[in-house]
């Protein structure tokens, strides 16, 4: 239920604010909370700032894909 609500909220936000403003809001809030950047150039300042405080980084590459229920079940069984 919450995924459906979240998807609807995102769709409405895109329509109300436009894609560019929506993208910026996502980077400043939800996306920005969990993602350091979009490429190696954009993550460097954060990594350097964290290193100054003795905090290391763990980098992870994340990819999402929309699948139908049938496709998901098939991939799960592979």
Residues 35-66: tens digit of each pLDDT:
888 888 988 998 999 999 999 988 887 777 77
For the entire predicted model, the pTM comes to 0.53
Mean pLDDT of the residues in the chain = 86
pLDDT of residue 74: 86
H or E stretch at 30: helix 30-34
Handedness of CA 45, 30, 12, 67 (dihedral sign): positive
Report the percent of the chain where pLDDT is more than 70. 99
CA distance 43 to 41: 6
Q: Where are the beta strands (DSSP E) in the chain?
A: none
What tokens were used for 14? 């895109």
Predicted pLDDT of residue 1: 58
């Amino acid at each position: 239920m919450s995924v459906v609500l979240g998807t609807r909220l995102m769709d409405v936000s895109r329509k109300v604010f436009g894609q560019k403003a929506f993208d910026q809001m996502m980077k400043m809030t939800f996306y920005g909370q969990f993602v350091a950047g979009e490429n190696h150039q954009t993550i460097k300042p954060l990594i350097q700032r964290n290193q100054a405080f003795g905090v290391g980084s763990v980098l992870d590459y994340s990819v999402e894909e929309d699948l139908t229920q049938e496709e998901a079940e098939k991939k799960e069984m592979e």
